[in-house]
Structure 1
Amino acid sequence: MRLFACQKCGNLLHFENTVCERCGSSLGFLPEAGRLSAFTPDGLAMLDGKPRKACLNVAEDACNWFLPEAEAENFCPACRLNAVVPDLSVAGNLPLWRRMEAAKRRLIYTLDRLRLPHQASALRFSFLADLDGEPPTMTGHEDGHITIALAEADDAEREARRTRLNEPFRTLLGHMRHEVGHWYFIVLVQEAGRTAEFRALFGDESTDYAAALQAHYAKPPNDDWRGNHISAYAAAHPHEDWAECFAHYLHMVDSLEMAASFGLSISPVLDRHGVLETELDFSPYRAGMEAILQAWTPLTIAMNAMNRCMGTPDLYPFVLSAPVARKLGFIHEVVHHRPDTGH
């Protein structure tokens, strides 16, 4: 993610902004340009002077994306991926759904920056609320259909689940990045003929998935996973290892882009001249994996130190071992060197 500027007054803008706090201009994100634009009173985007129309979910305050006026679609590229949204007539569902959509827009922004396909014909989302008398909704993926439990958008409920499952990290955006990773395994590995390379790093994904998850949840918490995996859940099965690493890769490039947008300079690394400094002045979407890894470690040290200053838990409770770095490097490779699979 990066920062933006109001075309009318130059004020600093963030991805979710809908009104410029300085000049009062209406704002909207233009997905085809990857930029936030101010609008004239008659609906022209100041970015390029062209007319735009709002995604239909703008009316629900659940989106801030705009489309070319002549576009046949009435939903933006993020919202048109919705297969099911919660019943908005039920009290409390609307604010939770808005959080879902905000996280999904951030996901789609990163996928677009990586030039990864996400056509609505292949990838779709269902945001499901629990119903009285029915089993709780399970978050998961099946052949491009991602289901996210609406309860995950409730901060208190999500934190309770994180604690119950002994997880160091659990976010709504993290869920989406993890689940979409399962679909990109199909696109980037399976359909691209790179399964042998995958198995050399992650293991044999053809092993019984249900049995592996059952065994994982039956075991008491342990540290056996450390060193070879990014998280305990990643050790459950190669598919989960991939999805955890894929989500982590998206965390990395998104955070590094924002750090570079702020012009951050951090200094926990000693170079050959005896200078402690790391300039985050490159695009992680164009950099090699080695540069990404070299910048990521000092950035996360800084992020954690700042959180501790505020008395909050570490923002980044992970350690990148050499085996995990190799897995991330494979993901970087298949993302940037993928064949056209028709998705």
Structure 2
Amino acid sequence: MRAFSCPICQRLVTFESDRCLHCGAAMAFDPATRGLVALDFGTVAVADAATQAVEGRERCANAVLVGCNWLAPPEATPEGESPALCASCALTRTRPADDDAEGLERLAGAERQKRRLHFELLELGLPIANGQREEGGLIFDLLSSANEPVTTGHADGVITMDLAEEDDAHREAMREQLNERYRTVLGHLRHEVGHYYWTVLVGAAGDEERLARARELFGDDREDYGEALDRHYAEGAPEGWQEQHVSAYATMHPAEDWAETFAHYLHLWDALQTAASYRVSVAGPAHVTDPSGTFAGRVADPVVGRFPEALEQWLPLSYALNALNRSLGNEDLYPFVLAPPIVEKLAFVDRAVAAAAGAPTADAAA
């Protein structure tokens, strides 16, 4: 995630900000420019003609319901009518009813994470298709399981999320029950869209060589899913799975290996972009010999198609993040070890993303 500043006074604000705490200017996120724009000047007198507030644009219709700070599409709100949904909220097909207070509270948290996901997909240049099913785009069903069971998953571009995952106690109980290292709502969303992007980037890309290479790395996606699921929950992950897979769940089926790896790629890319945006520098301890240049200094923005460079930055950054977390009495912030086969899979995901985004790759021959 990039760092953002108030478009009026240039003070630091967050991606979720709808008003500057310094000058009071109202603002909204514009997905067309991937930046925050001012809706008024707040308390600041602006003489610079280049600094203007956006006129004639409305906030998303979900501004009050879920705290959405995105702009509705331009010219989508005729004068005198209610504002339209923003590009992110428009992807949600089903949500809790208006009288479901708990469901709506959890919906607000899930939508906040979905906007972060949406932003990253835009930054990566990945197609989203505006959520129109006839166009094969993404759609989200964000459902409460308070009254009936909900299974989080993906089917033909439809992402279903059980909003119980927004409850910390429920999510932690599930994480311990399934012996997971990491479980967040954003992680769920990244994993499920990974299934969608298998179809977009590999399965329907028309590149037989890429599909063959994917099956070499992840396994044959045509393997019976039901049988694989039963086997996984009966036997668990095979011994030594850490040498080939980023998580135990990734061992269940090639489709899950791809989705877990894709989600991990998004984790790393977003964390590196955040570190670069805040100008984080990892020089390493002064007394430690570093002949290989592991601690290269300031983190640079990750670039699609250049995964080896991103990985060189990620490793020292993750060392420092884990050391900081341990200093606070917590477990490792990044509890993963990237064995060479996992790195190879991540690099494949990066090349597939680069191909969809039209970006060159640093290791196209790999």
Confirm or deny a common fold (TM above 0.5): yes
Task: Confirm whether residue 290 of structure 1 aligns to residue 315 of structure 2.
Answer: no
> Aligned pair in 2 of structure 1 residues 88, 157: CA closer, same or farther (>3 Å)?
farther
Shift of 1:197: 1.2
The Cα of 1:27 is off from its aligned counterpart by 2.1
| Structure-2 residue corresponding to 1:183 | 196
Residue identity in the other structure for 1:160: A
Q: Distance in 2 between matches of 1:219 and 1:267?
A: 44
Find the residue that maps to 1:67 and give its secondary structure.
coil
In 2: Cα distance, 1:40 partner to 1:91 partner: 32
How many positions carry a matched residue from both structures? 334
SS of aligned partner of 2:188: helix
- Residue identity in the other structure for 1:90: D
The answer (yes or no) to whether the contact 2:8–2:41 under 8 Å persists in 1 is no
Structure 1 unaligned blocks of 5 or more: none
Contact 2:280-2:298 at 8 Å conserved across structures: yes
CA shift for structure 1 position 220: 4.6
Q: Describe how 1:231-310 pairs up with structure 2 within 5 A.
A: 231-268=247-284, 272=291, 277-286=295-304, 288-310=306-328
1:126–1:146 contact (8 Å) kept in structure 2: yes
Separation in 2 of the partners of 1:54 and 1:251?
Answer: 29
Query: Which residue number in structure 2 is paired with residue 25 of structure 1?
Result: 25
Q: Does 1:129 align with 2:144?
A: yes
Which of 93, 104, 111 aligns to 1:94? It is 104
Q: Which residue in the other structure is 1:227 paired with?
A: 243
| Distance of aligned partners of 1:275 and 1:145 in 2 relative to their CA distance in 1, 3 Å threshold | closer
Q: Secondary structure at the match of 1:92?
A: helix
Q: In 2 relative to 1, CA 256–47 (structure 1 residues): closer, same or farther, beyond 3 Å?
A: farther
Corresponding residue to 1:76 among 72, 86, 92: 86
Displacement of 1:276: 6.7
1:336 is aligned to 354
- Secondary structure of 1:59's partner? coil
CA distance in 2, matches of 1:289, 1:159: 32
Partner Cα distance (1:150, 1:58) in 2 = 19
| Counterpart-to-counterpart distance in 1, 2:233 and 2:73 | 48
User: What is the alpha-carbon distance in structure 2 between the residues aligned to residue 261 and residue 68 of structure 1?
Assistant: 27
Residues 218, 36 of structure 1: alpha-carbon distance in 2 compared, 3 angstrom cutoff: same
Which residue in the other structure is 2:4 paired with?
4
Deviates more, 1:30-39 or 1:327-336: 30-39
Match 1:148 to one of 161, 181, 190: 161
- 1:4, 1:201 → 2: CA distance? 38
Matched, 1:50 2:54: yes
Higher strand share: 1
* Deviation sequence 1:184-206 (CA, Å, 0-9, x none): 00000011133211101111111
Matches within 5 A, 1:192-231: 192=205, 193=207, 194-220=210-236, 223-231=239-247
Aligned residue identity for 1:123: L
Instruction: Tell me: CA distance 1:163–1:27, structure 2 relative to 1, closer, same or farther (3 Å).
Output: same
Query: For residues 85 and 283 of structure 1, do their structure 2 counterparts lie closer, same or farther at Cα, with a shift above 3 Å needed?
Result: same
Moved more, 199-208 or 51-60: 51-60
CA contact (8 A) 1:144 1:183 kept: yes
What letter is aligned with 1:125? F
CA contact (8 A) 1:37 1:47 kept: no
**Partner Cα distance (1:2, 1:39) in 2:** 21
Taking structure 1 as reference, are residues 195 and 49 closer, same or farther at Cα in structure 2, changes over 3 Å only? same
Residues 171 and 230 from structure 1, CA distance in 2 versus in 1: closer, same or farther, beyond 3 angstroms?
same
After TM superposition, give the deviation of residue 286 of structure 1 in Å.
4.4
Given that 1:178 and 1:244 are in contact with CA atoms closer than 8 Å, whether structure 2 keeps it comes out as yes
Question: Does the CA-based 8 Å contact 2:30-2:71 persist in structure 1?
Answer: yes
Q: Distance in 2 between matches of 1:220 and 1:339?
A: 37
